[in-house]
Structure 1
Amino acid sequence: MKRFFQPVAKNGTATKKQAVESKELNDVTESAAAEAESGNEAKEPLRFLSWNANSFLLRLKNNRTEFVDLIRSFDPDVIAIQEVRLPAAGRKGESKNQGIIKDDTSAAREEKQAVMRALSVSPLSDYQVWWSLADSKYAGTALLVKHCFKPVSVKFSLESGASRDTHVPDGRVILAEFKTFRLLVTYAPNNGWKEEETSFQRRRKWDKALRKFVSQESKKPLIWCGDLNVSHQDIDVSHPDFFRTAKQKDYTPPNAEDVGQPGFTAAEKQRFSQILKDGGLVDSYRWLHKSQDFENGFSWSGNAVGKYRGKRMRIDYFLISEQLVGRLLHSDIQGSGIDHKGYCGSDHCPITLELSPATSTVPAHLPHVSSIDTDSTTGIDVKEITPEGVCP
């Protein structure tokens, strides 16, 4: 564990041991790529968990038991975390290493040690971790993949020609390629309330970049998960009229399509529809859950006090390429109610996705199955697909 706690050099660049730390992660993907090219069979993840933790460190300190219980119960092959809120290595005012957690001060070192200790204990020790971090305690994403599932490559940018050291600002993107599919983890910037560079304009640029990415041709289908910060339809919010007309103080945006709660403006919803269309993507949760579930159908819940009490939105997603729909078993929201049951301390709750093996195609209309061992529709033994604690 010592290698995780080395300070950065005075110029903000990685020290020799930090360079080794990054190289070890790269070696994993290079080995997997060589294995894939050799034609060897590679096992593929089937169970995925995504969660905006609203500070991963705080959740590991204060809500670890609840989070670990969920991991043990669902046994995900891949865990995607958004809003990590751990600063990247590097001194103030100098370039940062977004793949390494800051540890050049006593406070930062203690925080990093707390995170790494938590990750060194089962069941989290079963996972390899990749970080994409912001310069400060803001935003950031993390990808945890079971050691037996080696991605072919892991990148941190949407640009096809970007090097592995290129990170999207604020660490908002992780793109992992496996043998038969690509996994995109994103933490979308909030739309904000105003026609400003850090609000509407930033979100427009983000949506444009995502639309460009999903429109690019690829031989591998896409699984895209994360806090996408948009509720697509009225059914995806608890109080449509409230969110549609919400304003910040007395400010009214110059364009009517930008009026409303960030994440529920007409402009955002229209752009999201276009991204789904251009990318040939399906909202996995809505595919399986056609009607509104007022108790369990939202992934974000407002403060328990004030005008947002009871106001909820579904802004966390698993989007999948159309060719994966036939393998879709489950897509679920793991929290419920206005009191944040199952939220593990965050204002977002975890969401989960489960696919059948590539060799076992199930009907696209497969109904939701929650707690039974065998799916009566397909005859698939759900437990046998991915036994708890064991890679298939």
Structure 2
Amino acid sequence: MNADEPEAKRPKPSETKASKTKEPAKRFEQTEIARNVAPGAKTTRDGRETFKAISWNVAGLRSFVEKSGAKLRALVEEERPDVIILQEHKLQMSHIDAFGSKLKELCPGYDTTRFAVSTAKKGYSGIVAVSREGRKGGQVTIEAMLGGASKPAVSDGFKAVSHSEGLQGGTAYVDEGRTLTIEYEKFYVVSAYVPNSGQDLKRLDYRIKEWERDMKAHLKALDAKKPVIYIGDLNVAHLDADIWNVTASHIKKSAGTTPQERGAFGVMLEENGLHDSFRFFHGDAAGWFSYWSVRAGNRPFNKGLRLDYAVASKRLFDGDDSGVEVVDAFILDQVTGSDHAPVGITLAIKD
């Protein structure tokens, strides 16, 4: 996103050229919030076992591993997620074995990886899910998905029944490597790298009329069986609080912040019975973003957008009989290494 340039300070008539000074850029203020479950904790304060999923857009796994691999290792050691899903890896099929092995080295104990790879365009899109082997054992696997379901795996004591690409069990969106659905015993985790509307909004109609329609149907079909967590770079800044410069004139004409995209996201939440988990716990907290423009140098000033989300079935917040409950949601905006920050969600598993 292009950020507004700060307006130059106008000198007073009495000022000389030598005396003019540029007003320093200010950091966009952030509301202080607290995590409900401590980083790395595997139980809640009342002793319930937890499951944690994290998503991070790494904007190219090859460069990320070379420059920021140590930051990924530090993240998994600090947070101990059950599954971490890396968005926009940009790998080709020929790369998956090598990079699957590298991810295992960077994430000790996370021995199950599943890749969704773009075959329609090289160096584009792609998702990889990296899961814990778990206390109950598990399979050490590296696998690229090309539609359909994979073999079962185990994630930190919670069984993953299957991994699949596409939507509603079909092959839609498989060629761009944008979706990965993991079925666990008591819930689904659906990860997506949502299509960007692009320069001059050339893909806006596709985004709204096809992608949003089909993803809504996919989530609804899964939710009819068991609760759903939908996590990833969803490429939309839903609320005014999710945009640092919401009143800027270009916002309504920029990808991810158009009224059409923001409205469609709200419709999805309502019609599919989903909560934005971060907003559920933190309401109108200001200054919490997951993306900052590198070109504009916005990250040091916290001038960003919240484009990455973990949304979940409302009944996961209501204490129903599904066996799981959302207890925390967070943005790790102090973690660097990409133009995006990791986001996550924590569930408490009921006996």
CA 1:76–1:194: 2 relative to 1, 3 Å: same
Code of the residue aligned with 2:245 in structure 1: it is H
Q: 1:146 Cα shift?
A: 1.3
Conserved in 1, the CA contact under 8 Å of 2:292 and 2:304?
Answer: yes
Once residues 192 and 71 of structure 1 are traced to their aligned partners in structure 2, the CA distance between those partners, rounded to angstroms, is 32
SS in 2 for 1:186: strand
Q: 1:67 Cα shift?
A: 1.6
Write out per-residue CA displacement over residues 320-348 of structure 1, whole angstroms, 9 at most, x where no aligned residue.
1011114222211101xxxxx412x2100
Q: 1:127 Cα shift?
A: 2.9
Code of the residue aligned with 1:202 in structure 2: it is Y
Q: 1:195 Cα shift?
A: 5.5
* Structure 2 counterpart of 1:40: none
Q: 1:128 Cα shift?
A: 0.2
Once residues 72 and 178 of structure 2 are traced to their aligned partners in structure 1, the CA distance between those partners, rounded to angstroms, is 22
* Corresponding residue to 1:301 among 264, 288, 292: 292
Q: 1:122 Cα shift?
A: 5.6
Once residues 199 and 173 of structure 2 are traced to their aligned partners in structure 1, the CA distance between those partners, rounded to angstroms, is 27
CA 1:287–1:116: 2 relative to 1, 3 Å: same
Matches within 5 A, 1:144-163: 144-148=130-134, 149=155, 150-160=159-169, 162=170
* Corresponding residue to 2:238 among 227, 232, 238: 232
Is the aligned partner of 1:267 residue 2:272?
A: no
SS in 2 for 1:239: coil
Q: 1:306 Cα shift?
A: 6.3
Aligned residues: 269
Once residues 296 and 199 of structure 2 are traced to their aligned partners in structure 1, the CA distance between those partners, rounded to angstroms, is 21
Structure 2: segments with no counterpart, 5+ residues: 1-48, 135-154, 320-324
Once residues 254 and 201 of structure 2 are traced to their aligned partners in structure 1, the CA distance between those partners, rounded to angstroms, is 14
Matches within 5 A, 1:164-183: 168-183=174-189
* Structure 1 counterpart of 2:279: 286
Q: 1:307 Cα shift?
A: 8.4
Write out per-residue CA displacement over residues 279-301 of structure 1, whole angstroms, 9 at most, x where no aligned residue.
1110000011112332xx10001
* Structure 2 counterpart of 1:132: 116
* Structure 1 counterpart of 2:74: 69
SS in 1 for 2:81: coil
Q: 1:147 Cα shift?
A: 1.8
Q: 1:354 Cα shift?
A: 1.1
Once residues 173 and 122 of structure 1 are traced to their aligned partners in structure 2, the CA distance between those partners, rounded to angstroms, is 23
Conserved in 2, the CA contact under 8 Å of 1:210 and 1:275?
Answer: no
**Structure in which a larger fraction of residues adopt strand:** 2
Write out per-residue CA displacement over residues 90-112 of structure 1, whole angstroms, 9 at most, x where no aligned residue.
xxxxxxxxxxx46xxxxxxxxx5
Matches within 5 A, 1:1-392: 46-89=51-94, 101=95, 113=98, 115-121=99-105, 123-135=107-119, 136-148=122-134, 149=155, 150-160=159-169, 162=170, 168-194=174-200, 196=202, 199-204=203-208, 205-216=210-221, 218-242=224-248, 245-246=249-250, 259-294=252-287, 297-303=288-294, 305=296, 311-325=303-317, 326=319, 327-335=325-333, 341-343=334-336, 345-359=337-351
Q: 1:62 Cα shift?
A: 0.9
Conserved in 2, the CA contact under 8 Å of 1:302 and 1:347?
Answer: yes
CA 1:122–1:134: 2 relative to 1, 3 Å: closer
CA 1:357–1:122: 2 relative to 1, 3 Å: same
CA 1:230–1:46: 2 relative to 1, 3 Å: same
SS in 2 for 1:47: strand
Write out per-residue CA displacement over residues 300-319 of structure 1, whole angstroms, 9 at most, x where no aligned residue.
01126468975310010000
Write out per-residue CA displacement over residues 260-281 of structure 1, whole angstroms, 9 at most, x where no aligned residue.
2211111111111111112111
Code of the residue aligned with 2:305 in structure 1: it is M
**RMSD between superposed Cα atoms in Å:** 2.3
Once residues 117 and 215 of structure 1 are traced to their aligned partners in structure 2, the CA distance between those partners, rounded to angstroms, is 35
Code of the residue aligned with 1:128 in structure 2: it is T
Identity of matched residues, %: 26
Write out per-residue CA displacement over residues 205-248 of structure 1, whole angstroms, 9 at most, x where no aligned residue.
11111122223352200011000000111011111012xx317x
Conserved in 1, the CA contact under 8 Å of 2:115 and 2:128?
Answer: yes
**Structure in which a larger fraction of residues adopt helix:** 1
TM-score (norm 2): 0.71
Code of the residue aligned with 2:175 in structure 1: it is P
Once residues 197 and 269 of structure 2 are traced to their aligned partners in structure 1, the CA distance between those partners, rounded to angstroms, is 18
Code of the residue aligned with 1:178 in structure 2: it is Y
Conserved in 2, the CA contact under 8 Å of 1:221 and 1:323?
Answer: yes
Conserved in 1, the CA contact under 8 Å of 2:50 and 2:346?
Answer: no
Conserved in 1, the CA contact under 8 Å of 2:100 and 2:113?
Answer: no
Conserved in 1, the CA contact under 8 Å of 2:118 and 2:174?
Answer: no
